[in-house]
Amino acid sequence: MSNENKITRRKLIGGIGAGLAISAISPALGSSIDDSLSAAPALEDPTTKYPRPPFKRQVQPWPALAGKMEPRPDHGEKSYKGSGRLAGRKALITGGDSGMGRAAAIAYAREGADVAINYLPAEEPDAREVVQLIKAAGKKAVAIPGDLRDEGFCKRLVDDAARQMGGLDILVCNAARQQVHQSIADLSTEQFDWTMKTNIYAPFWLIKAALPYLKPGSAVIGTASVQAYDPSPELFDYAITKAATVNFVKSLAKQLGPKGIRVNGVAPGPIWTPLQVAEGGSTPEKQTTFGQQTPLGRPGQPAELASIYVQLAASDGSFANGQIYGAAGGEGQP
């Protein structure tokens, strides 16, 4: 047999074999693709996915509880499904009892992380629910109540969280105070100081205390706001702190990036949280129409930001540093 005939015969046999192999696996591939498509969730209209204004007028004693809001916010309790993106990680989240902090805590646990949450003692009922959700995900839950305006407490908070979890590699500075003042003349030094210490001093103290624990690959995440870019006149002091949060994210990202520690921020627009119903947190008029001005015609829910907090903490987001991720329903920046 000539070499030419050998090669031709070899190609023919190889082609038949390949064809048989493809025909053997094609049904399985087709079945897998069909199953995947049939299991895909249906498209959801974002304008009608969640409650729209007008909302019932409601006021709770500050700092207010998510569990008593009407309608109750969605933090992803029933909807968030993890895929192991944060397996083995250790996270500390301030304001983890409600709002974006609670949504992040639920998502982090379902992605495989142990989670410590901080909150005010008055928020204990909400915090207990979060602890149960973290435990239900099979992860360690650490609850540490306390006032972040105390520098000593901030240091103890970080140390205690790291001790109980066996380390710390994600720090989410989310807790914030928001109070309405129609005029700067109505804003006392005590009230101004309260907002500054909660929203700016506390992250400063927490990050300093966390640095000895944060190894390359760790992440620091701040919660900013659309108020940093488009401030409301009655939220003068709150808006100042959110603009400062954007700046500290960008500055620290340059300082800590060379050490392998990423620093990013999330800038929500109008999100349905206890900040809106707490006494002094919003005007009655704005509360009933909250979120109506967005192109989607409604406020966001904390659950709609959970995946952003996950992305900024996960290793597959490793080139995001000094970034501010917005979620404002189509209004404001970034």
Among candidates 262, 324, 278, 332, which has minimal Cα distance to 300?
332
The residue range of the domain holding 278 is: 66-327
CB 126 within 8 A of CB 119: yes
For residue 307, is it within any domain? yes
For residue 102, is it within any domain? yes
Residue by residue, DSSP assigns 89-133 as -EEEEETTTSHHHHHHHHHHHHTT-EEEEEE-GGGHHHHHHHHHH
- Is pLDDT at 57 greater than 50 in this prediction? yes
Q: Which residues pair with 265 in a beta bridge?
A: 222, 324
- Is pLDDT at 309 greater than 50 in this prediction? yes
Cα–Cα distance between 111 and 314 in angstroms, integer?
10
For residue 1, is it within any domain? no
Cα–Cα distance between 100 and 33 in angstroms, integer?
35
pLDDT at 233: 95
Two tokens at 100? 């974006």
For residue 6, is it within any domain? no
- Kindly report the pTM of this predicted structure: 0.88
For residue 22, is it within any domain? no
> Mind telling me the catalytic residues?
238
Average pLDDT over residues 286-304: 96
Indicate the SS3 state at residue 292.
Answer: coil
Among the residue ranges 14-18, 280-284, 311-315, 324-328, the one predicted with the least confidence is 14-18
Average pLDDT over residues 281-299: 93
Q: What is the pLDDT of residues 161-215, one digit of tens each?
A: 999 999 999 999 999 999 999 999 999 999 999 999 999 999 999 999 999 999 9
pLDDT at 329: 95
What is the count of structural domains for the chain?
1
Cβ atoms within 10 Å, residue 232: 14
Two tokens at 207? 């990050």
Cis amide bond preceding 334, omega within 30: yes
Q: Which of 4-13, 34-43, 238-247 is predicted most confidently?
A: 238-247
Higher pLDDT, 20 or 142: 142
Q: What is the pLDDT of residues 12-39, one digit of tens each?
A: 344 444 443 334 433 443 433 345 445 6
CATH number for position 309:
3.40.50.720
Q: Give me the chain's average pLDDT, please.
A: 90
Cα–Cα distance between 167 and 215 in angstroms, integer?
10
CB 224 within 8 A of CB 203: no
> What angle do the packed helices 236-256 and 202-210 form, to 10 degrees?
20
Among candidates 270, 329, 274, 268, which has minimal Cα distance to 70?
274
Cis amide bond preceding 125, omega within 30: no
